[in-house]
């Protein structure tokens, strides 16, 4: 696929482009501070699958337009939910989109340009890395609405920052500044311009071997769900896969020859 074809992708609530092997998704529903309604969630799922199916894409960056990353789920739509079954289905469909993002086989970065609240923070949590603009505000305010986080927040947040810190945010519903988010380990970096920093971070990451990046990510993610000993087994298996690639032969040869490696993704 050429870059020209990517630009032609028609979405109502987001823009999708590929620049320098990085898929860039910009959520654009500014009249609602980029809140996630069912149409936008569907389009995100399509965009993630589009990126995964493009062999040129080595990383993905997701951001918001205007003053929000994503200010939450669509509250008006949530108000219409009748009973537990509809609520469960709504949570599962949102989780499905976040899980599609989390399972992408290359590194993903959230460029948090403004408010990342509720479903917006859950979207950022499904990425591998998070870069926040200095004025950004983050939080899971659902309990103040009589709800709980439903797109993965109660599960991904404690895995990222620990149960105590996660419960502090989830039970108070408070918003934290980008600076506190960095201190909590909720974001990886602060920047004046989150998108520029995220693109620069993606460019740095994708200089490395693409298969190795995917396997390293897989090792970390799968290891979180098992014991240390089982995790070490997973690591050894994936190390074996990495060691059998042409990229590993190229990387080690380049190191010994004191030259820059040329990785082909084989």
**Whether residue 117 is found in the same domain as residue 218:** no
User: Is 229 within the bounds of a domain?
Assistant: yes
Q: What is the pLDDT averaged over residues 236-254? A: 96
**Whether residue 189 is found in the same domain as residue 217:** no
**Whether residue 188 is found in the same domain as residue 222:** no
User: Is 35 within the bounds of a domain?
Assistant: yes
Pairing between strand 189-191 and 129-133?
Answer: parallel
User: Is 263 within the bounds of a domain?
Assistant: no
**Apex 74 CA angle, 199 and 16, nearest 5:** 30
CATH number at residue 240: 1.10.12.10
**Whether residue 215 is found in the same domain as residue 162:** no
**Whether residue 183 is found in the same domain as residue 225:** no
The residue segments making up the domain with residue 68 are 3-205
- Closest-CA residue to 134 (of 185, 176, 169): 176
User: Is 265 within the bounds of a domain?
Assistant: no
Reported as a single tens digit per residue, the pLDDT across 99-120 is 999 999 999 999 999 999 999 9
- Judged against a pLDDT cut of 80, whether residue 51 lies above it is answered with yes
User: Is 264 within the bounds of a domain?
Assistant: no
DSSP class of residue 245?
S
User: Is 144 within the bounds of a domain?
Assistant: yes
Is 89 a residue of the active site? no
Residue 85 pLDDT grade (very low, low, confident, very high; cuts 50, 70, 90) = confident
**Whether residue 58 is found in the same domain as residue 136:** yes
36, 88 Cβ separation under 8 angstroms: no
Rounded Cα gap, residues 192 and 134, in angstroms:
6
CATH number at residue 41: 3.90.226.10
**Whether residue 195 is found in the same domain as residue 216:** no
Q: What is the pLDDT averaged over residues 121-140? A: 98
Residue 83 pLDDT grade (very low, low, confident, very high; cuts 50, 70, 90) = low
Percent of the chain with pLDDT over 90: 89
Reported as a single tens digit per residue, the pLDDT across 196-227 is 999 999 999 999 999 999 999 999 999 999 99
- Domain limit, last residue, from 205, 230, 246: 205
User: Is 132 within the bounds of a domain?
Assistant: yes
**Whether residue 227 is found in the same domain as residue 164:** no
- Closest-CA residue to 111 (of 30, 25, 33, 207): 25
Reported as a single tens digit per residue, the pLDDT across 17-26 is 999 999 999 9
- Catalytic site residue from 31, 142, 197, 264: 142
Is 142 a residue of the active site? yes
Reported as a single tens digit per residue, the pLDDT across 147-159 is 999 999 999 999 9
| Alpha helices, DSSP H, located in the chain | 3-7, 38-53, 75-79, 83-102, 119-125, 153-161, 163-172, 178-184, 194-205, 210-223, 228-243, 246-256
Bigger pLDDT: 19 vs 79:
19
- Judged against a pLDDT cut of 90, whether residue 8 lies above it is answered with no
pLDDT for 2 equals 40
**Whether residue 144 is found in the same domain as residue 241:** no
User: Is 240 within the bounds of a domain?
Assistant: yes
**Whether residue 75 is found in the same domain as residue 170:** yes
Domain count, the chain: 2
Bigger pLDDT: 18 vs 78:
18
- Catalytic site residue from 19, 49, 82, 122: 122
- Judged against a pLDDT cut of 70, whether residue 14 lies above it is answered with yes
pTM (2 decimals)? 0.94
**Whether residue 17 is found in the same domain as residue 61:** yes
**Whether residue 196 is found in the same domain as residue 214:** no
């Amino acid at each position: 696929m050429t870059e020209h074809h990517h630009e032609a992708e028609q979405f109502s609530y987001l823009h999708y482009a590929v620049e320098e092997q990085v898929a860039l998704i910009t959520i654009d529903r500014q009249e609602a501070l980029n809140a996630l309604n069912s149409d936008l969630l569907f389009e995100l799922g399509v965009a993630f699958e589009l990126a995964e199916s493009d062999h040129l894409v080595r990383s993905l960056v997701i951001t918001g337009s205007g003053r929000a990353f994503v200010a939450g789920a669509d509250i008006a739509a949530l108000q219409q939910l009748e009973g537990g079954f509809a609520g469960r289905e709504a949570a599962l469909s949102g989780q499905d989109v976040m899980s599609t993002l989390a399972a992408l086989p290359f590194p993903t970065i959230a460029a948090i340009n403004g408010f990342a609240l509720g479903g917006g923070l859950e979207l950022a949590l499904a990425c591998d890395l998070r870069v926040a603009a200095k004025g950004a505000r983050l939080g899971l305010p659902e309990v103040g609405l009589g709800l709980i986080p439903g797109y993965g927040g109660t599960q991904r947040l404690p895995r990222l920052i620990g149960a105590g810190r996660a419960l502090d945010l989830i039970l108070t519903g408070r918003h934290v500044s980008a600076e506190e988010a960095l201190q909590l380990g909720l974001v990886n970096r602060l920047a004046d311009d989150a998108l520029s920093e995220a693109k620069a971070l993606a460019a740095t990451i994708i200089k490395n071997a693409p298969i190795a990046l995917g396997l390293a990510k897989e090792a970390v993610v799968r290891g979180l769900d098992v014991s240390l000993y089982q995790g070490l087994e997973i690591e050894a298996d994936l190390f074996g896969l990495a060691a059998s690639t042409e990229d590993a032969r190229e990387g080690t040869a380049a190191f010994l020859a004191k030259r820059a490696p040329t990785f082909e993704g084989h």
